Amino acid sequence: MLESVQVSLSQQAILHWIKNDVAALRLQVDHIRPSVDQLPPDVREVWRLLSATLDRLAEAHNVSQDDIRDLLVPKQFDLRGMLQELVIAEDRYQRIAKVSLEDESGSMAVEASHLLVTSALRNLLTNALQAIADQSGGPEGQVKVTLRVVTATGADGQRRWAQVGIADSGPGFSEELRTKFARGERFSNRNGGEGNGLRFARAQLSYCGGDLTLLPGAGSLGGAQLQVRLPLVTVR
């Protein structure tokens, strides 16, 4: 029963992922339209971003054609490597904010669905960038991702966790939105948002044995600060 619910949720999350990228594509096309005939350097850069968007849409489409059950099977992978690739891609993919990563050395092996963890973390980064984009006219935004090893008590007692922090320079969350997050309700802090991003991410991480926390107060960059934890495993 739990697997069938997660299959349905994952399919919805992939559609949500595609919707986000289609929206980004529309914004980029609108940006190009006024000067498409001249193609100055900045417009050529937008075309590069457009190409990256199309690549992501193709990737999402390919995933949607696979048997989602196979992609839910937990497999061991290097969380640091996956996060490094994701941060580099997100930093190159847009011009809204600088996305950076600070991580620790050492093993960061987790055993989980690579699809679900990647989808959840990408969704959280997308939400941070969209929140910054809504603050038009300000300085270049920042999204800071950190990766640490922590020891904490879980259902199985004391164990080591990979802890991912995501802080942004956006407007943050009001107390009302924090309450909705705690209740598991849909909500969005931007116009046109469906309010499913954090809900999907939390469910995906929970299925993988992890958790997602919205930390209180403003983060180090003045906006929202999220914390993701996934249990570490011994490298096989």
Q: For residues 142-171, b (16+ Cβ closer than 10 Å) or e, as one string?
A: bbbbbbeeeeeeeeeeeeebbbbbbbbbbb
Q: What is the pLDDT of residues 123-133, one digit of tens each?
A: 999 989 988 88
pLDDT at 217: 81
Which amino acid would we find at residue 171? P
User: Going by CATH, does the domain composed of 2-231 fall within 3.40.50.10860?
Assistant: no
Least confident of 7-16, 118-127, 180-189: 7-16
Domain assignments of the chain as residue spans, ordered by start: 2-231
* Confidence band for 37, pLDDT divided at 50, 70 and 90: low
pLDDT at 92: 82
Q: What is the pLDDT of residues 58-110, one digit of tens each?
A: 677 666 666 677 888 899 999 999 999 999 988 887 888 999 999 987 779 99
pTM as predicted: 0.76
Least confident of 36-40, 53-57, 132-136, 167-171: 36-40
* Confidence band for 13, pLDDT divided at 50, 70 and 90: confident
pLDDT at 32: 66
The residues, any chain, with a CB within 8 Å of residue 55's CB and separated by 6 or more, are none
- For the chain, the straight-line distance linking the first and the last C-alpha, in angstroms and rounded, comes to 30
Helix (H, G, I), strand (E, B) or coil at 24: helix
Nearest to 99 by CA among 154, 67, 145, 132: 145
